[in-house]
Amino acid sequence: MDEAVVVLKKGEGRTLKSGGMWVFDNEIDSVSGVFENGDIVEVHDFDGYFMGYGFINTNSRIAVRILSRRRENRITEEFLEQRVRAAWEYRKQTVDTSSCRIIFGEADFLPGLVVDKFSDVLVAESLALGIDRLKPLLLEKLKTVLAEDGITVRGIYERSDAGVRRKEGMECFKGFLGEPFDTKVQIEENGVKYIVDVKEGQKTGFFLDQKNNRASIHKICKGKKVLDCFTHTGSFALNAGIAGAASVLGADVSRIGIEQAEENARLNHLEDRVKFLCADVFELLPELEEKGEKFDVVILDPPAFTKSRNSVKNAVKGYREINLRGLKLVEDGGFLVTCSCSHFMDPELFARTVKEAAKGARKRLRQVEFRTQAPDHPILWAAEESYYLKFYIFQVCAEK
C-alpha cells in the first residue's frame, strides 16, 4: 500500500535538512492520501523532493518522526532489525554491556523508544505513537540479536509512564511485557553492586547515563569526607565509598530512595562508612553551613529542575542556590562535583550559573574535568534533544 505524503511548506524543514528527525506541525503544507495516526508516511519538500519515511501523529506538535532518509529503505521488518542490530553493535564497541542503554530514541534512529538492559532484564519506554505500534516487533528483534551473543532475556518490563505520552494521545502504561518476574535486579557497575527496582525506581529504574562520571570521582575521594546531595539510591555515594572515602553522607528527599541506598550500602559492605539521610537538600545545605560543617568533596546531582523552556529562569535560581550553598561547604582545596540533566539548561547557561554561584560564595574554581552522558546515551549532533547531561569536577579555592 502506498504511504500518504506529507508536503512541507517552502522554506520549512530546516531541522530535518540539517540532519534532525522531527517535522513540526507548523512546517507542513499538506497531507495527501489516507492515513491513521501512527502510520508510516512519506515526507516531501515543497518541490516534491523526497526527504524520508516517518510515522505521523496529528495529535502531537512533532507531527512526523523520521525513521529512514532513503527512498529505497522502506520501513520493513528487515530494516527495523538492522536498526536494532546497529544499536547493539555500537554498545559492544563503546561500553560495558552488562548493564547499559541499548536504544536511545532519536540518537539510534528509532525515535521515541528507549530500552535499558539491566543484567538479563530489559526495560522499555515508548514515548511516541508510531514507535509504540512497532515496539513489539523491535523488542522481539532485540531479543534475537542478544541471543546471538549468548544473552537470554529473562523478562521485559515497560515503563511508559511519562506524562509526555499524553501529548501523543496515548495513555501511560506500566507493566510486564510477557511473563512476570522478580523486578528487583542486581547489577554491578564500576565495582559497585546495586539492586535496581525496574518497577518502582525512577525512570527505567537506574540512571545509567552517569556511569563514567561516577567512575571519575574515585581518584578524588580516597581518604576524604564526602557529601552526596540528591543521592537517589546512593550511586555517587557508593562510588565514593568503594574508592576509599573516610566517610560519606548521602542525602535525598525520597524515603524510598534512601531505603534502597541503605540496602545498596549493605550489599557492598559499606554501611560503616557510607550513611544516608532523608532530607530536603535545599534545607539541609544551609543547616550544615550553620553548624560549621566542611567536606573535602561535595557532589550535586539534582533531578532536572526544568523540563521546558518556560521554566528555565526558575531552574537557574535552583541551580545557583545549590551550587552556592554546596561551595560554602567545601574545604579550601577540596572538590565540587556538579551537574545538570536538563536539556533546556544548555551548557553555556549552566556554566554561567555555576560561575555566578562561585562569585556569590567567594570561591575560585579550577576545572578538573567536563563530561557529558555515557556513550550508551550517544549525542546525535543533529538532534539537540539528545544532549542533556553536563558534568563538572572543580577544585575549589578560597579567595586569598
253's CB contacts (< 8 A; 6+ apart) are 278, 279, 280, 281
339 catalytic per annotation? no
Alpha helices in the chain (DSSP H): 14-17, 77-94, 129-147, 211-216, 218-221, 235-242, 255-267, 281-290, 312-328, 347-361
Asked whether the predicted pLDDT for residue 384 surpasses 90, the reply is no
Does 393 share its domain with 299?
yes
d(CA 199, CA 183): 6
Q: For 268-281, how does the pLDDT look when each residue is reduced to its tens digit (9 = 90+)? A: 999 999 999 999 99
Does 123 share its domain with 263?
no
The residues facing 196 across adjacent strands are 185
State in Å, rounded, how far the first CA of the chain is from the last one: 74
Confidence band for 137, pLDDT divided at 50, 70 and 90: very high
Domain of residue 100, CATH code: 3.30.750.80
Domain of residue 217, CATH code: 3.40.50.150
Report if residue 153 sits inside a domain.
yes
Report pLDDT for 315. 87
Q: For 52-78, how does the pLDDT look when each residue is reduced to its tens digit (9 = 90+)? A: 999 999 999 999 999 999 999 999 999
- Mean pLDDT value across the chain: 95
* Percentage with pLDDT > 70 across the chain: 99
Report if residue 201 sits inside a domain.
no
Final residue belonging to a domain, choices 68, 86, 120: 68
Does 121 share its domain with 258?
no
Report pLDDT for 1. 58
Does 272 share its domain with 174?
no
Give the Å distances, CA to CA, from 111 to 56, 153, 207. 12, 23, 20
Least confidently predicted of 183-192, 300-309, 363-372: 300-309
Report if residue 190 sits inside a domain.
no
Final residue belonging to a domain, choices 37, 68, 99: 68
State the catalytic residue, choosing from 221, 339, 341, 397. Answer: 341
Report if residue 163 sits inside a domain.
yes
Confidence band for 312, pLDDT divided at 50, 70 and 90: confident
Report if residue 124 sits inside a domain.
yes
- Structural domain count of the chain: 3
Confidence band for 303, pLDDT divided at 50, 70 and 90: confident
Which residue type, as a one-letter code, is found at position 9?
K
Asked whether the predicted pLDDT for residue 398 surpasses 90, the reply is no
The parent domain of residue 106 ranges over 77-183
Domain of residue 25, CATH code: 2.30.130.10
Single pTM value for the model: 0.93
Does 60 share its domain with 114?
no
Final residue belonging to a domain, choices 68, 96, 121: 68
Q: For 246-273, how does the pLDDT look when each residue is reduced to its tens digit (9 = 90+)? A: 999 999 999 999 999 999 999 999 999 9
What's the whole-number mean pLDDT along residues 105-125?
97
Report pLDDT for 364. 96
Report if residue 19 sits inside a domain.
yes
